[in-house]
């Protein structure tokens, strides 16, 4: 009787419950992943059907709509919008300037010059080690609303 109990205990020690639990968890994860993949594939199929329906309704995009051989409502590469740029001169002065995102850095320097009273030629605008050039627009440098730049004069 004692020997049988000892053998059962050894058997349990050899295959502890934690192994079974870990195996069950792995199986559950695999099953969950499989289910997610199936759901994604179903959603993709639905999205494809929706896009096909939309294509049937409108054959041309807005850029391709042609009226008597001329392109109608051609949009620019980016939308002009007002942004506010914050310039820090690292001496305790922060200047907030409102401008358009299609303005050049030179235009921004002129606006800053009006607020600070310095000449625009003396102003240098940079971010870290990138010194911004006067003829390139804010949108080209991907300067967004509320972005902080460094100002040196």
Q: How would you write the pLDDT of the chain (153 residues) with one tens digit per residue?
A: 788 888 777 766 665 565 667 777 788 888 888 888 888 787 777 766 666 555 554 444 444 444 555 555 554 555 788 999 999 998 989 999 999 989 999 999 999 999 999 999 999 999 999 999 999 999 999 999 999 999 998
- Pick from 122, 3, 35: which is nearest to 151 by CA? 122
Task: Return the bridge partners of 151, or none.
Answer: 125
Q: Pairing between strand 94-100 and 124-127? A: unpaired
Residues near 89 by beta carbon (within 8 Å), at least 6 away in sequence: 95, 150, 151, 152, 153
pLDDT tens per residue across span 57-96: 444 444 444 455 555 555 455 578 899 999 999 898 999 9
Cα gap 130→126, rounded to integer Å = 5
pTM: predicted TM-score of the whole model, two decimal places:
0.49
């Amino acid at each position: 009787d004692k020997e049988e109990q000892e053998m059962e205990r050894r058997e349990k020690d050899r295959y502890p419950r934690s192994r079974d639990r870990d195996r069950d968890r792995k199986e559950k994860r695999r099953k969950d992943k499989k289910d997610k993949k199936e759901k994604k594939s179903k959603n993709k199929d639905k999205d494809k059907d929706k896009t096909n329906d939309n294509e049937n309704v409108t054959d041309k995009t807005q850029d391709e709509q042609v009226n008597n051989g001329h392109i109608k409502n051609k949009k620019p590469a980016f939308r002009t919008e007002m942004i506010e740029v914050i310039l820090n001169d690292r001496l305790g002065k922060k200047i907030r300037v409102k401008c358009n995102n299609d303005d050049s850095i030179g235009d921004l320097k002129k606006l800053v010059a009006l607020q600070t009273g310095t000449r625009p030629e003396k102003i240098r605008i940079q971010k870290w080690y990138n010194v911004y050039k006067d003829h390139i627009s804010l949108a080209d440098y991907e300067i967004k609303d509320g972005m902080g730049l460094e100002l040196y004069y």
